[in-house]
């Protein structure tokens, strides 16, 4: 039987290991053939229960299984902070927009893992900018001990204020690098001064 490109991508990712497992294609269930649906859902369901956290994005879309219920159950047994709780809460927030899931995502900013804190910031960058999101980026930019986390938070600040249109664009990052550096300066006082200038629309490139 001929399989769609999306179905083959799903199989390849589920069977991959290490870094090859990164980057599940988000529209797999929308692009598979109708006759592949049952099989694809079985694969996703099994992968999730085998511990593959990267398939969580598909669970709210399942028809054969109650994916949302499975996500809620998994989150209720999950340690917070943890990368697993970030991904579970992200999947639940994306389908429900319930504030409690966003709060769980944000609570992971206290994680000792630098990569987990960056993951949280990346999720926040996918949301429509607002004052609460700006203040979260501000607190991270001011207080996080990691230079790279503060630099990521600086991207979020610039995105909230319209200096950056696509926070995941390398080209835009390079074009606004001098502003990033101002917001992620070495001292708390310098960072606060420059964030205040950004808030007032007065931050200028070096």
Mean pLDDT of the 35-63 span? 96
pLDDT at residue 20 is higher than 70: no
Angstrom distances, CA of residue 136 to CA of 106, 107, 120: 8, 11, 11
Burial 43-62 (b: 16+ CB within 10 A, else e): bbbebbeeebbbbbbbbbbb
Q: Which pLDDT tens digit goes with each residue over 80-105?
A: 999 999 999 999 999 999 999 999 99
114-125 vs 131-143: helix crossing angle, rounded to 10: 160
For 33, which DSSP code? Answer: -
Tokens for 70, please give them: 């499975």
- The Cα–Cα gap between 155 and 183 comes to 9
- The Cα–Cα gap between 159 and 167 comes to 6
Instruction: Report the pLDDT value the prediction gives residue 22, as an integer from 0 to 100.
Output: 66
pLDDT at residue 29 is higher than 80: yes
Instruction: Report the pLDDT value the prediction gives residue 164, as an integer from 0 to 100.
Output: 95
Instruction: Report the pLDDT value the prediction gives residue 16, as an integer from 0 to 100.
Output: 86
């Amino acid at each position: 039987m001929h399989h769609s490109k999306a179905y083959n991508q799903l199989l390849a990712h589920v069977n991959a290991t290490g870094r090859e497992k990164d980057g599940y294609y988000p529209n797999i269930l929308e692009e598979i053939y109708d006759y592949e649906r049952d099989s694809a859902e079985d694969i996703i369901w099994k992968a999730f229960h085998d511990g593959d956290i990267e398939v969580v994005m598909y669970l709210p879309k399942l028809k054969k299984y109650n994916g949302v219920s499975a996500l809620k159950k998994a989150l209720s047994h999950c340690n917070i902070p943890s990368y697993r709780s970030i991904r579970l809460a992200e999947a639940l927030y994306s389908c429900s927009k319930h504030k409690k899931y966003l709060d769980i995502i944000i609570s992971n900013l206290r994680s000792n893992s630098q990569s987990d804190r960056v993951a949280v910031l990346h999720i926040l960058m996918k949301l429509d900018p607002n004052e609460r999101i700006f203040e979260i980026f501000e607190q991270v930019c001011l207080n996080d001990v990691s230079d790279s986390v503060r630099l990521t938070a600086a991207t979020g600040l610039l995105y909230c204020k319209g200096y950056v249109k696509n926070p995941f664009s390398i080209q835009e990052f390079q074009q606004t690098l001098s502003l990033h550096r101002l917001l992620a300066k070495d001292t708390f006082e310098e960072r606060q001064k420059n964030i205040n200038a950004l808030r007032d629309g007065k931050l200028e490139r070096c």
